[in-house]
Amino acid sequence: MESPETSISNLIIPDVSTLDFLQYSEPDFLNPYLRSCRLQNTWKLAKSNGVEGMIHISVPDTQTLVERKDGLSKYTAYNIHVNGWFHAAVRFSVLHQFSETLRNRFGAKLKGPEFPPKKIFRNLDGPGLEERRIKISKYLQSLVQSPQIARDFYIEKTFLDFQIEYFRPTCSTVSLDILLADGEKITVKCNVRSSTSEVLEILCEKLEVESSRLKSYFGLFVGSPKSLMEEEGTSSSEGFDLLVIRLLRNFESPYASLQLMNQRSAARGIHHKLTLQKLIWDPRIEESLLDDRVFTRLLYAQAKSDFHCKRLRIQRKETLEKLQNLEKQENMAQFIRACHLFPSYGMEELGKCRSDYPRPDSVVSVSMGRRQILFKYRHEGQNIEEAFRATRIRVWRISSPPRPNDPLIFQFEYLLSKDTFQWITLFTEQAILISLLLQSIGSEILNEYKNSLFNDEACEKIEVHESNGHRKPLIQKADSPLIDKREEKKRNSISSNTSDSTFSQNDPLGAPIYESFSDVFTTITDTLPPYSHEMRISAVECTTLKESHFDLEVAEGARYVMDTKAVNVAAQVVKNMYIHSESPPKAFFNRLQDQGQFDSCYARKAMPKKNVVRSWYQLQTVADMEKYISWYWLATFR
């Protein structure tokens, strides 16, 4: 019998990634125990909105189908479930041909169990079919283990073909009703074979919005209406409310997936619908989208749904009246900003399930939002809420239940306190969705670290011209204060140094060779402007590291932002010094520590110096050093 346990390696990214937590919005990101956490299937950037496609695949059973040609002959088809939902029933010969194509396409890259061979002149009995089913399931699981194979276009297209072939549509062009969070319906026409990405492209054309941006911040979900709010029995009849149960990916057709789900749930009186929901976990990201009319409308629909479904937990009458007035005035942007003040805003409810936390066999209501998982449960007659931040989750895994009809098992290892990790288990049908949403949160954190929050459209354009042999930036802002030329030259000293003609001929990065460690750190530290919340640092767009330099720009209400390319310049300078120092790593790091530049800079920013010293001594390799340099800049400018 097939093992009920689906190990960690059955997830789509089996390797363990290490992340130095650079999420500077978290007050405890300096904790070295957090920054050394090992993450499984979490903080890796993926396609579009950072959510992988197939993360779980199984073949739990078979069914007997009739040949389409004569309508009489029967054959056995294997039921393939992807991400916890039925996807298609495929006959053995088609799966065998699929495996042969993969062998020719990937060769030695295709690792794992072999696909079961054909049985010539023999019809399999019950035990033989069961053995073949188990081998097919393990083979498909091995495909999911390899990201390079699982993300291949051929895999996505083949699984889409499996679904369409089983669905057997009667027409080629169909209409899809996509609901916004407030119940507004948008109808699009598409081909029945259109994948999720193609449907979103059509939706973007209708909304007149850039498709890449929409796919980065929103996803296409399947949901079903709620009859009652799960929290304190509050009715949700005042507003349109959906319980999302599935995030659609590119290996499936939204139309076929929706129809197959409704066919299987019709007997229970459940009718699923397609809905467009945001995949944004930090209100600051929403703030950056409020300059766009379409995104403001989409975010407003979800904020209004939270308001009418009583998920914001408004305590004061004045606040309630303010939101009502903003809604009457149709002041969407201000309404969204007002909703940002509520901690419960943007929480995606995922229903009730059993858990071993806080005690065995507890019943908890699970929500996700604000980069955390929220548990709600009753303890000794009181309603308790407990939040588990995503940045404290070290690893998670999905396991198959011991009995076929039981819900999936979702487990995550959480840092409860210093040096104390605990496994927390959920028995829920939403295990796959929770995993996909955690992937999205991880991608958002990495994107924030890489400063992708501030796109080119939102930044001021900077012109660069030659003056006295030096490149100097011009800020296109009429009300910008004049900057003292000596201060400007001082702040642009890195630019002057990196564009100097004394580059090493052997260094393709063009990093200059400094005579001492204090020279380079004095240069870097001197470029830091006085601390102010009305300034930010940006880097001029350029094609090479040699042309990168800093520019002081005045922006109302903006925070310090360090461009990734500028961070790389600082890291490469230090790396180049290490290469030419001919010193062992330990001695090199000790000499850097002796300079004291980082400590004084952190003291100026009111940062705890002991954390800096402790983190600095943890460096072991040049790669660690580069990460630390990047982390130092981001933390300082925050």
**Percent of the chain whose pLDDT exceeds 90:** 42
Strand extents, DSSP E, 419-526: 420-427, 462-467, 470-475
Q: 70 pLDDT band (50/70/90 cuts)?
A: confident
Output the pLDDT for position 405: 81
Last residue of a domain, one of 449, 474, 496: 449
Q: Is 258 found in the same domain as 143?
A: no
Averaged pLDDT, 289-296? 94
Instruction: Tell me, yes or no, whether 318 and 354 share the same domain.
Output: no
CB 585 within 8 A of CB 522: no
The domain that contains 120 carries what CATH number? 3.30.1520.10
* 418-477 pLDDT per residue, tens: 889 999 999 999 999 999 999 999 888 888 777 544 444 445 444 444 444 444 443 333
CA–CA separation, 198 and 254 (whole Å): 10
pLDDT band at 152 (very low <50, low <70, confident <90, very high): confident
In angstroms, the CA 411 to CA 41 distance is 13
pLDDT at residue 264 tops 70: yes
Question: Collapsing DSSP states into helix, strand and coil, what is residue 614?
Answer: helix
Q: Are residues 32 and 75 in the same domain?
A: no
Q: How far apart are CA 596 and CA 255, in angstroms?
A: 62
What CATH number should be reported for the domain holding residue 34?
Answer: 2.30.29.30
| Tokens 């054909």, residue located | 118
Query: Does residue 531 carry a pLDDT above 90?
Result: no
pLDDT band for position 20 (50/70/90)?
very low
pLDDT of residue 489 exceeding 60, the answer is: no
> Is residue 187 located within the same domain as residue 160?
no
Q: Looking at the domain assignment, is residue 403 inside a domain?
A: yes
- The rounded distance, in Å, linking the Cα atoms of 130 and 139 is 14
For 42, 347, 397, 419, 588, the CA distances from 416, given in Å and listed in that order, are 19, 22, 18, 8, 36
For the chain, the domain total comes to 4
Confidence at residue 78, expressed as pLDDT on a 0 to 100 scale: 96
Q: What is the CATH number of the domain that holds 325?
A: 3.10.20.90
> SS3 sequence, 85-151?
EEEEEEEHHHHHHHHHHHHHHHHHHCCCCCCCCCCCCCCCCHHHHHHHHHHHHHHHHHHHHCHHHHC
Same domain as 209, residue 86: no
Are the CB atoms for 595 and 518 separated by under 8 Å?
Answer: yes
Question: Considering the domain boundaries, does residue 47 fall inside one?
Answer: no
Q: How far apart are CA 368 and CA 441, in angstroms?
A: 10
What mean pLDDT comes out for the span 221-233? 64
| One domain, residues 278 and 149 | no
Report the candidate in 343, 378, 340 with the shortest Cα–Cα distance to residue 233.
Answer: 378
Question: Could you tell me if 441 and 524 lie in one domain?
Answer: no
User: Cα separation of 594 and 87, whole Å?
Assistant: 61
- Structure-block tokens of residue 264: 């299987």
- Contact between residue 613 and residue 536 where contact means Cβ atoms under 8 Å apart: no
Among 449, 477, 510, identify where a domain stops.
Answer: 449
What does the pLDDT average to over 81-99? 94
Cβ(99)–Cβ(143) below 8 Å: no
What pLDDT is attached to residue 585? 56
Task: Show which of 431, 449, 467 is a domain's final residue.
Answer: 449
Residue 37: φ, ψ to 5°: -65, 145
Residues 81 and 124 in one domain: yes
Q: Is residue 420 part of a domain?
A: yes
What is the band of 372 on the pLDDT scale with cuts at 50, 70, 90?
very high
Q: How confident is the model at residue 71 (pLDDT cuts 50, 70, 90)?
A: confident
258 inside domain: yes
Residues 573-605 pLDDT 10s: 555 555 555 555 555 555 554 443 333 333 333
Residues 428 and 484 in one domain: no
Same structural domain, 266 and 335: yes
Question: Does the residue 48 lie in any domain?
Answer: no
Residues 289 and 378 in one domain: no
Whether 79 is covered by a domain: the verdict is yes
How does pLDDT run across 102-146, given as a tens digit for each residue? 999 988 888 888 999 988 766 778 888 999 999 999 999 988 888
User: Is residue 46 assigned to a domain?
Assistant: no
Which range marks the domain in which residue 509 is found? 459-637
Q: What pLDDT is stored for residue 82 in this prediction?
A: 93
Q: Is 363 found in the same domain as 335?
A: no
Average of per-residue pLDDT across 399-410: 86
Six-digit token string for 471 = 């490149």
Is pLDDT larger for residue 474 or for residue 628? 628
3-class secondary structure, 503: coil
Per-residue pLDDT averaged across 340-368, rounded?
A: 93
Mean pLDDT along residues 52-80:
87
Cα gap 599→610, rounded to integer Å: 9
Range of lowest pLDDT (100-104, 378-382, 498-502, 626-630): 498-502
474 vs 416: which has the higher pLDDT: 416
The pLDDT value given to residue 69: 80
Model confidence at 254, pLDDT cuts 50, 70, 90, reads very high
Mean pLDDT of 236-259: 85
Mean pLDDT over 231-257 rounds to: 75
